Amino acid sequence: MPLKSLRILDLSRLLPGPYCSMFFSDFGAEVIKVEEPGLGDYVRWFNPKVDDNSAIFHSLNRNKKSVTLNLKSEKGKELFKQLAKTADIVIESFRPGVMEKLGLDYENLKKINKKLIYCAITGYGQEGPYSQMAGHDINYLSYAGLLGLQGDFKGPPKLSSVQIADIGGGAQMAVIGILIALHARNVTGEGQFVDISMTDGVLSWMQSIFPDYFTNQKFPERGKLRTGGGKACYYIYETSDQRYLSVGALEEKFWKVFCHVIGVPHLIPRLNDDFEGQQKMIEEIGLVIKKKTLPEWISLFEGKDACVSPVLNLDEVLDDPQFQYRQMFIEPELESKTIRHIDVPIRLSSTPGRVKNSAPGIGEHNEEVFLELGYSNEDIAGWKKQGIM
């Protein structure tokens, strides 16, 4: 597998860090979760569970190994440093300053491994007035301004059901940052620090928002953006069976097809009406769409190039022919356990990723990892008794 030469030490918990390291483990990197003895990654204890761990933990931590270390103990720190000497990458998601207090920050670790790439994923970055603030996805979206743009123009901001900042602003930015640092290391021979702020990551998504303001000094309002509920051609309409039809007919060619299919050709010239005109069109189209069921509309649009889709429920997603064809839901038999997974979304023609191992038990690989470093079974047993491991 393409990343099999990489060793990653992942100290992160919950979603952003583990989701990041999952991409590396899916393509063959040796990802070693370094967990707190006893407690481990908090996600382990969520419900529902599969065996002793949560279903989410199994998904995020497939293909990984787990060791336990008490990093507050001197021996635990020493053992982590021995691991860091052998690692290519360290990923952590503590508040800025925590690893420095432990003596395990990038500045200390690069002294023993100059090739080490050290990625810190935090809410607001390593510096700045918010750097020490606690936060979750909702907070990062709020500060970046994205949450304020989501929802109807007459209503309050609306949350997404998926953690946008955690995944898009944090985990995926971290993957990109680490890959860039790896490429740079191939040139310079040295690692570097990768500072990932989830809030910065979300802010960078606003490439279609801020440039307009920079040009005309007018901020868009919630529910009035061209792709945020402000245009009739890009909207969600309710059908007669209380289902929903999504319409993304932004371009004139798609809008023409859409208007002809639903029987409102007189609206074709009004594609770029002002906001008031768009609201009137939304109301008129809404009354038309409400006359038929979702299956009836999907049948009418079959074979028509109009950017129209059904809003699927999750059970329908599981059975959708596109996902079935691409085998995006898999049930690999791993260590005599069959657990359903979302498959690797990045498809490489020559070196594909795959789900080959189930998520590890807490500390499952203590012996394997530390015996390889030259320690003995007696050493490991002693550290466990002392609460170091």
Q: Residue 104, class by beta-carbon neighbours within 10 Å (0-12 exposed, 13-18 middle, 19+ buried)?
A: buried
pLDDT for the residue 101: 98
Strands (E), the chain: 7-10, 30-35, 49-50, 53-54, 64-68, 89-92, 117-122, 193-197, 234-238, 244-248, 308-310, 329-330, 333-334, 337-338, 341-342
Q: How far apart are CA 366 and CA 142, in angstroms?
A: 41
The one-digit pLDDT tens for each residue of the chain (389 residues) are 999 999 999 999 999 999 999 999 999 999 999 999 999 999 999 999 988 899 999 999 999 999 999 999 999 999 999 999 999 999 999 999 999 999 999 999 999 999 999 999 999 999 999 999 999 999 999 999 999 999 998 899 999 999 999 999 999 999 999 999 999 999 999 999 999 999 999 999 999 899 988 998 888 899 999 899 999 999 999 999 999 999 999 999 999 999 999 999 999 999 999 999 999 999 999 999 999 999 999 999 999 999 999 999 999 999 999 999 999 999 987 776 778 999 999 999 999 999 999 999 999 999 999 999 999 999 999 999 999 99
pLDDT for the residue 353: 97
Question: Is residue 220 within 8 Å of 145, Cβ to Cβ?
Answer: no
DSSP annotation string for 25-63: HHTT-EEEEEE-TTT--GGGG-SSEETTEEHHHHHHTTT
Question: Active site includes 166?
Answer: yes
Name the 3-class secondary structure at 170: helix
pLDDT for the residue 253: 98
Q: How far apart are CA 29 and CA 207, in angstroms?
A: 32
Question: Active site includes 136?
Answer: yes
Determine the angle formed by the axes of helices 252-262 and 294-301, rounding to 10 degrees: 120
Amino acid code (one letter) for 63: N
Determine the angle formed by the axes of helices 172-188 and 16-26, rounding to 10 degrees: 50
Name the 3-class secondary structure at 235: strand
Q: How far apart are CA 360 and CA 162, in angstroms?
A: 25
pLDDT for the residue 245: 99
| Residue 105 DSSP symbol | S
Question: Is residue 322 within 8 Å of 336, Cβ to Cβ?
Answer: no
Taking Cα atoms as reference points, which of 265, 95, 259, 128 lies closest to residue 200? 128
Locate 274 and state its tokens: 């002002």
Q: How far apart are CA 259 and CA 254, in angstroms?
A: 9
In the block, tokens 């030259």 appear at 374
Cα 88 from chain centroid?
22
Amino acid code (one letter) for 134: A
Taking Cα atoms as reference points, which of 150, 95, 149 lies closest to residue 120? 95
Catalytic-labelled residue, pool 26, 41, 105, 166: 166
Q: How far apart are CA 267 and CA 251, in angstroms?
A: 14
> What are φ and ψ of residue 34, in 5° steps?
-105, 105
DSSP annotation string for 234-278: EEEEE-TTS-EEEEE--SHHHHHHHHHHHT-GGGGGGTT--HHHH
